[in-house]
Structure 1
Amino acid sequence: MRHVYKTATLFYIPTAIPFYRDWDKEIHPSMFYDAIENIRKMLPIDILIIKNSYVQLLKKPRYIQHFMLDEMQKFYDNVTSKAKHIVMSYSDYHRSVHFEKFNRDVQHNNTRNPYCDYKKAKANVQKLDKIIDKIKCKNCIKVNFNHATCDYVINKCINALPNGIALFRDIFHTTFFGNLLHAEFLEDELKLHNIL
């Protein structure tokens, strides 16, 4: 998208979820609001991409059931006016692959089975995605980045290309090449929604 936009700014806090108040790590949604506001003071935001892992919430079923929807809705209510368009990501699928073995196989050009089961991966995060579906945001598009590497027709998610290039470095973090696939997928989604 470099041919469309002159500036891209990245802000992240490792393992943080923007709407989730993590008392152990002293992370609060206001940290994200402040960062977005500081960027807006320098230049307007055309597209705000909010992509995070929801993995730590899977260990908190009570939070998912009772608080996630309200806190997530409040977060998006607060950021909706900060950008022309907002990209909200669905939860990343966790790859059911033994990645130490997979990485050794890639190094030895032995990627005979670089796949994981799509339905199983999707089922693991279904509760989270149902909540994401309920979020109301007038200028948001919801993007499932998993579709860049998963195919529901053949029920597989690919972890490496046929030539042995790894797309993931662990159960959900992408490699540089995986990031390129996600960027290409995002560009297609933005075009589909007439944003690009």
Structure 2
Amino acid sequence: MPLYKTITPNSQTTVKIWKITESYEHLMMKVDLKPAALNRVLGMKSELHQRGFLSVRHLLQEFGYVDADLFYDDNGKPHLKDGKHISITHSFNFSAVIVSDLTVGIDIEKQRDKITIIAHKFIDYEQDYLNKDGADYIKELTAIWCVKESLYKLFSMPGLSFKQHCLVIPFTINDTETVAWIDYKSKKYRYNIHFLEFEGFTCAYAIV
């Protein structure tokens, strides 16, 4: 069973990361999906997305949940029936779920050069401390994207902009924590950020 990593950043929060090595058929055999989820996975055109979707259901099982315990609100944010907070992510052959008594968000991204093409769409304040010629520029951009994506998932408010409303406090790629802010409609919200790298991927998660 490819449970890749379990992290407990505090007594109220657990992160589980899955490395997706199984076939779609194997993953499908091991889960019990509610009808809406089954229709959703059968309707996916990409097997990679199907395997990511199913691996998340395996991670739910690792937490002691089943697919029926998970539901989504009108903004697409996932929730658990027992009231705990949850956030979900998958990218290529990794997926992750964070469950907490606190409000949380998580994201995984593969580190790829093409992120430089879209950097102008999500970088603003951060350009003051980024070094475009630095050896870690791609990793730093990926980390910032992951942080802002996790904030977006956590905050779940229509109109929230990565570039205009989300700020990541300076960090180095060797750090494992930083702080980020959402500045939205004249109010400021502070979040603790954790991040890590593995096998060419970056994962970041935000906790209130």
**TM-score normalised by L of structure 1:** 0.30
Determine which structure has the larger strand proportion and give its number. 2
Higher relative contact order (CA 8 A, sep 6+): 1
Structure with greater helix share of residues: 1
